């Protein structure tokens, strides 16, 4: 969970230096990062623009909120 909360701290610190208009979440391979995406969006109100499962620029793809929500809450989890 500390890596997830670290993302919120980073967003707060970056926003002190430069205006933020969106976020890119790399290595989105853990549920803590999924939760922090929601928390950062809730606090800053800017969109998630790109997500990636790896570490390189070729691992990024445009963010689809419906796909993201479906992955967090699959139909068989209820």
Q: Is the pLDDT of residue 54 over 70?
A: yes
Tell me, rounded to whole angstroms, the distance of Cα 75 from its chain centroid: 22
DSSP type of residue 52: E
Per-residue model confidence (pLDDT) at position 2: 53
- Confidence (pLDDT) at 24: 85
**Residue 2: Cβ-neighbour burial (10 angstroms; 0-12, 13-18, 19+):** exposed
> Strands 48-52 and 23-25, how do they pair?
parallel
pLDDT over threshold 90, residue 58? no
Report helix angle 31-44 to 2-17, nearest 10: 30
Task: Output the pTM of the full model.
Answer: 0.67
| Least confident stretch, 12-16, 29-33, 61-65 | 29-33
């Amino acid at each position: 969970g500390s890596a997830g909360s670290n993302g919120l701290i980073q967003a707060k610190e970056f926003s002190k230096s430069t205006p933020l208009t969106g976020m890119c979440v790399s290595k989105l391979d853990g549920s803590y990062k999924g939760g922090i995406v929601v928390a950062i969006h809730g606090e800053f109100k800017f969109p998630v623009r790109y997500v990636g499962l790896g570490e390189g620029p070729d691992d990024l793809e445009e963010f689809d909120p419906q796909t993201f929500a479906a992955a967090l809450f699959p139909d068989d989890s209820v």
